[in-house]
Structure 1
Amino acid sequence: MYAMEDFAGKSPIDLLDFLHQKNLNESMGQLFTLVYLAVTIPVYTASVERTFSALKRIKTYARNTTGQVRLSALASMAIERDFLMELKRTDNLYNRVNELFLRKERRMDFVYK
């Protein structure tokens, strides 16, 4: 079966349908079971788990001190850290952040009487 050109480029679902249509599930039982498992078992992705672990670290670090907006911003930064590292290497990120921060007038004018 491996050398047959009929199966080149076919998906596991196509192979499972072929085995079922030709009643080969008994004569090729192990192959049928293998293909069936390959079709039904979900694929594991590490990026989803990494996202949840990053959020868990952030929540542990800033549990009671941050609001929802800040927590969301910290989560985005942790998830997109590769993008931020690229910005740090190629762009003047720190100067741009400082410029944005300094533009806002945060000082309160106190008048002493």
Structure 2
Amino acid sequence: MRELPPDRIMSPDGRAGWYAVPPGGHGAEDDDQAWEGPSEGSLIRFMSEDSVDVPLWSEDGLIFVDGDELVREWSVSQELASDIVEWGRASQGPRTARIDAEAARLIRSLRRELDYRFRIVYQP
């Protein structure tokens, strides 16, 4: 069997593939290290992706796996986290003006709740 590149891992069902490693699920080599999110002033992209509930991306990739992580790590309100998860799921279908308008509203709310610590932009 040929060796896989270091950033390619086997899924639990034994199939090889590319997988985002979420903050709460670092690779085995990172298990003892505390998670450090994006630094203040970082660019955060609000961007839909199939099977992603919290569509927030840093330069290192997906930031959170679920709304609970968003609440726990960034102290975002449960209401906003739920709205972001709802948008993440709804945005996996066709792009509409309503989806775009809701993204703009959520980004404004997220910026306020995070006290403008990050540059958050919508990437349709």
Q: Same fold (TM over 0.5)?
A: no
Larger strand percent: 2
TM-score tier after normalising by the smaller chain length: under 0.3
**TM-score using structure 2 length:** 0.22
Q: Which has the higher contact order (CA 8 A, sep 6+)?
A: 2
Q: Which has the higher helix share?
A: 1
Q: TM-score w.r.t. structure 1 length?
A: 0.24
